[in-house]
Amino acid sequence: MRILVIEDDTTLARFVLKGLREAGFAVDHAGNGEDGLGLALSIPYDAAVVDIMLPKLDGLSLIEELRRNKLTTPVIALSAKRAVDDRIRGLHSGSDDYMTKPFAFAELVARIHALMRRASGVVEPTRLTVGELVVDLLARTVTRNGKRVELQTREFALLEYLMRNAGRPVSKTMILQHVWNFDFDPQTNIVEVLVSRLRTKVDADFADKMIHTLRGVGYVVRTP
Amino acid sequence: MSFERLRRTTRTVGFRLTVWSSSFFVVGSLALFGLAYVVVWSSLRERDDEAIRLESVELAAQYRLGGVPTVAQLLEHQERLGTNEPFLVRMIGPDGAVIFLGTPERWGEFELNHLGSPARPPQQEWFSLRARRDDKVVDVKSLRMPDGALLQVGKTTEDRAAIMKRFRATAAGGTIAVLVLGVGGGLLLTVWALRPLRQIIDTVRAIDAGAMNARVPRRQTGDELDELGGLFNNMLDRISMLIAGMRGALDTVAHDLRTPVARLRGVAELALRSDQRRDALQQALADCIEESDQLLTMLNTLMDISEAETGTLKLALESVNVSAIVEAAVDLYRHVAEDKHIAVSTASDPTLWLMADRSRLRQVLANLLDNAIKYTPAGGRVDVEAVRHKGLAIISVSDTGIGVMAHEVPRIWDRLYRGAHSRSERGLGLGLSLVRAVVMAHRGRVDVSSAVGGGSTFTITLPFSAAGAE
C-alpha cells in the first residue's frame, strides 16, 4: 500500500509519515502542491493525504486537477478551518474525505483504510474474526472461543467497529461518531462506560484480554 | 478644474431632476398658453365677423328700403349714438361707380381700390385689406344687392390685435415666471428631497474614513428616506455589535485558554525535569494528549458559544422530530445512567416537529442530560418531557439531584462558571452557556427552576419555525 502525503508543515509531515510507515504503509512526501501533483500524476498511489493550504498549488485545486485527469485515487483533505467550507463538503464524495486539524492519528489511519476499502470495491465481509473472537454481522451474534457472548445494541456496534479496525487503535471521538453518530464530545465518560461494559462481557471470563486501552490514543482489539 | 466640477454637477441626480422637472413645467405652460391664444383669437375674430355680418344685413335692408340716402342716414344715426365703432361702408353701383363711401377720411390710408368693382368683384366674400403704411388690417365682407350694386362692409382688427398683443405679453411674462419657478422650485425641491441621501453618503464617507460611530441624523418624518436612514443606522449598530462581540469573544477565548495551556505545559515540564522511568513518561505524554484534546474541545465550544451569541453561528435548519432527538440523547447516556442507578424516563409527543439544527439540538439535550445525570445521586431519576404548548415546543429535563442554590442561579449560564458542587465533577463549565447560546440562536429561551436538594428542571422553549431564519 503506497500513500502520498502532501503537507508543507514539516513537523506535522514528519509525524504523519512516521506514523503511516509504522502502520505498514509505503509513504512518499511532497512539500508543496506542484510537486505533489507531479508525483500523484506519475505514480499510482493507493491513497493521498492532502493539506488544503499548500504553497504553489492549493490542495482543493490539486484534487480537482487529479479528478480532471481521471485519477480516482482516494484523497483525505486536511483543513485547519473549524467550519468545513462548502467546497470541501462538495469533495466528500465516495473517494474523498476530509479531516480538520488537529486530528488523532488513529482516526487518520482508520479513514485511510475505510477509503481504500471503498475504493477497492471489496465485498463487505459478513463475519469478522480476531483470534478466537468472532462477530457474525448477519445473525448479529458474538462468540468467543465458541461460547456465545450476549451484547446489547450499542455494545455490539462498538465491538463491530473495533473488530473492523482490529490491530489499529480507534479514538474516543471516532467511537462517538460511529456508535452514536454524535460529532461532539460530551464531557462525560460515555465511551469509557460502554467500553468497560463490553470488556466485562468479552474479556472478564478469560485470562487473555483482547480489548486494550491505549491512554491518550484510544482503544484497540487485538489477539492476545 | 472648473470644467470637471461642472461635469460632476451635471451628473448629480439633483441637477438632472431639476432640468427634467423644469422642462416639463415650461413645455406644459407653453402648450397651455398656446391653446388659450388660439381660443381667444378665434373667438374675437368670430365676434368681429358677426358684427360685420349684422351691419351688412341691416345696411342691405336699408338700401332696399330707400337706396343710398337711407343707408347714409342709418350710418349717421349710428355714429351719433356712438354705439358701434365705425364701419367701413362702400357701395358700388351696378355701373361700377362708387355710389357711397362711409367715413372716407378714416379709411383713406387703405388701398380702397383693392376692394374691386361690380364688374370685377373680389374673389372671396370675405377678404382682408392691409393699410398702406402700418400693419393695420380691415376685414371686409362683400354683399351683392338685388339691383346689381355691391355693398361692402368692413371693420378694423385693431381691437383684436391690441387684445392679442396684451395676451402675448402676458404669456411671455408668464412663461418667464414659470421658468424661474420651475428651475428654482425644482432645485429647492430636489436639494430638499435629496438631503437625507446626501447625509447617508456623508455618513458612509465618515465611516470609510474610520469614524465607526458616525450615524445618519434622523428627521423623524417617517418618510422613505428617513426610514432608509433609520435602517442604515440599525445596520451599523448591528455591525458594531458584531464587531464588539467578536472582539469580546476573542478576548475571552484568549483568556480562557491560558489555564489549560498552562496545565499542558506544566505536565510536559514536570515530566522533562525529573528523571523518570519510561512508563511514567508515557503517562505524562498521555496526559498531554488528553489536555490538548480538552483544549481543542474548549476552543471549539467557546467559538460555538461566541458565534451563537453574536448571531454568526451557521444553523443547518431542517425539519426535526423532537421525540427522535430526545431518544437519541437518552440513548447516549443510557449506560452511564444505568451504572449510576439513575432511572431516565421520557415522555415526548411523537408528532412534535421543529425547524432546527439537528446536530445542535442534540448537543443541547445531551448537555442538559449530562448535567442532570452528573448532579443526581444514585437511585435518583431524570425525566425528559417534550410537549406542544400554544404554538411552542417545550422540552424539559428534570432531575432529583442536588439542585442549584438560589444565588447561583443567575450565574450558571456564565462561561466557565462552576458552582460549589460542580467543582468536583469533570467538565469545562461551558455546557449550560452553550445550551443557552444555541437555544437563543434558535430564537428560543431556556429557564431553570431549582431547589437545593429538591432537584432542578431545565425548560427549553422553542418556536416551531422562526429558528433564527431571517
What are the extents of the domains in chain A?
2-120, 127-221
Strands lying side by side in the sheet with B392-399? B343-348, B381-389, B392-399, B455-463, B445-451
Peptide bond into B217 cis (omega under 30): no
Residues B232 and B197: beta-carbon distance below 8 Å? no
Q: Looking at the structure, do residues B256 and B329 belong to the same domain, yes or no?
A: no
The long-range contacts involving A173-179, CB below 8 angstroms and separated by at least 24 positions, are A173/A104, A173/A107, A174/A104, A174/A106, A174/A107, A174/A110, A174/A218, A175/A218, A175/A219, A179/A154
Chain B CB contacts of A186 below 8 Å: 332, 366-367, 370
Q: Which of B282, B336, B367 has its CB closest to that of A193?
A: B336
Is residue B444, in this structure, part of any structural domain at all?
yes
Test A186 with B374 for CB contact under 8 angstroms: no
CA dihedral B255, B257, B260, B263 (to 10 degrees): -60
Test B426 with A189 for CB contact under 8 angstroms: yes
CATH code given to domain A2-120: 3.40.50.2300
Is residue B176, in this structure, part of any structural domain at all?
no
What does the mean pLDDT of chain A come to?
A: 85
Test B332 with A197 for CB contact under 8 angstroms: no
Chain B CB contacts of A190 below 8 Å: 332-333, 335-336
Is residue B168, in this structure, part of any structural domain at all?
no
Q: Say whether pLDDT at A158 is over 90.
A: yes
Domain-ending residue, one of B97, B127, B162 = B162
Residues B115 and B141: beta-carbon distance below 8 Å? no
For cell 349714438, what's the residue? B81
- The shortest C-alpha distance from A20 to chain B (Å) reads 19
DSSP one-letter code for B10: H
Q: Residue window 267-286, chain B: list those with CB within 8 Å of chain A.
A: 282-283, 285-286
Question: Which tens digit of pLDDT belongs to each residue from B348-397?
Answer: 888 888 888 888 899 899 999 998 998 889 999 999 999 988 888 999 99
Is residue B175, in this structure, part of any structural domain at all?
no
What CATH number corresponds to the domain at position B389?
3.30.565.10
Q: What's the one-letter identity of residue A129?
A: T
Q: Looking at the structure, do residues B431 and B284 belong to the same domain, yes or no?
A: no
pLDDT of residue A48: 92
pLDDT of residue A155: 92
Is the Cα dihedral A101, A102, A103, A108 positive or negative? positive
Judge whether A129 is closer than 8 Å to chain B, CB to CB: no
Q: Which of A181, A184, A194 has its CB closest to that of B363?
A: A184
Q: Looking at the structure, do residues B266 and B335 belong to the same domain, yes or no?
A: no
The long-range contacts involving B158-162, CB below 8 angstroms and separated by at least 24 positions, are B159/B44, B159/B48, B159/B85, B160/B41, B160/B44, B160/B45, B160/B48, B161/B137
pLDDT of residue A5: 93
Q: Which residue of A has its CA nearest to B299?
A: A82
Mean pLDDT of A173-200: 85
Q: Looking at the structure, do residues B285 and B340 belong to the same domain, yes or no?
A: no
Is residue B188, in this structure, part of any structural domain at all?
no
Q: Which of A154, A190, A216 has its CB closest to that of B286?
A: A216
Chain B CB contacts of A182 below 8 Å: 332, 362, 366
Burial A180-189 (b: 16+ CB within 10 A, else e): bebebbbbbe
Q: How many domains does chain B have?
A: 3
pLDDT of residue B469: 40
pLDDT of residue B406: 78
Mean pLDDT of A48-70: 86
The three cell numbers of residue B275 are 528523571
Question: Which tens digit of pLDDT belongs to each residue from B190-232?
Answer: 888 788 888 888 888 998 888 888 888 887 777 888 888 888 8
Judge whether A184 is closer than 8 Å to chain B, CB to CB: yes
* Global confidence as pTM: 0.62
* Average pLDDT per consecutive 10 residues, chain B (470 residues; last block may be shorter): 70 80 84 91 90 87 84 81 74 80 65 62 72 75 82 83 88 86 83 82 88 82 83 87 77 79 87 80 86 85 82 83 91 90 90 88 91 89 90 90 80 71 62 88 88 86 63
**Structure confidence at residue A91 as a pLDDT band (50, 70, 90):** low
Beta bridge partner(s), residue B460: B395, B446
Nearest by Cα to B374 from B336, B326, B332: B336
Q: At what angle do helices B158-208 and B224-273 cross, to 10 degrees?
A: 10
Q: Looking at the structure, do residues B296 and B333 belong to the same domain, yes or no?
A: no
Rounded distance between C-alpha atoms, residue A114 and residue A56, angstroms: 30
Test A154 with B427 for CB contact under 8 angstroms: no
**Chain center to CA of A186:** 21
Test A197 with B336 for CB contact under 8 angstroms: no
Test B290 with A216 for CB contact under 8 angstroms: yes
Test B335 with A197 for CB contact under 8 angstroms: yes
Q: Which domain, by its residues, includes B394?
A: 317-463
Judge whether B117 is closer than 8 Å to chain A, CB to CB: no
Question: Which tens digit of pLDDT belongs to each residue from A104-141?
Answer: 888 888 888 888 887 777 777 888 888 888 999 888 89
CATH code given to domain A127-221: 1.10.10.10
Judge whether B363 is closer than 8 Å to chain A, CB to CB: yes
Chain A CB contacts of B358 below 8 Å: none
CA gyration radius, chain A:
19
Chain B CB contacts of A187 below 8 Å: 297, 370, 426-428, 431
Q: Looking at the structure, do residues B254 and B143 belong to the same domain, yes or no?
A: no
What does the mean pLDDT of chain B come to?
A: 82
Rounded distance between C-alpha atoms, residue B439 and residue B396, angstroms: 13
Q: Which of B289, B362, B367 has its CB closest to that of A216?
A: B289
Residues 6+ apart with CB under 8 A from B158: B136
DSSP one-letter code for A204: T
What CATH number corresponds to the domain at position B83?
3.30.450
Residues A16 and A7: beta-carbon distance below 8 Å? yes
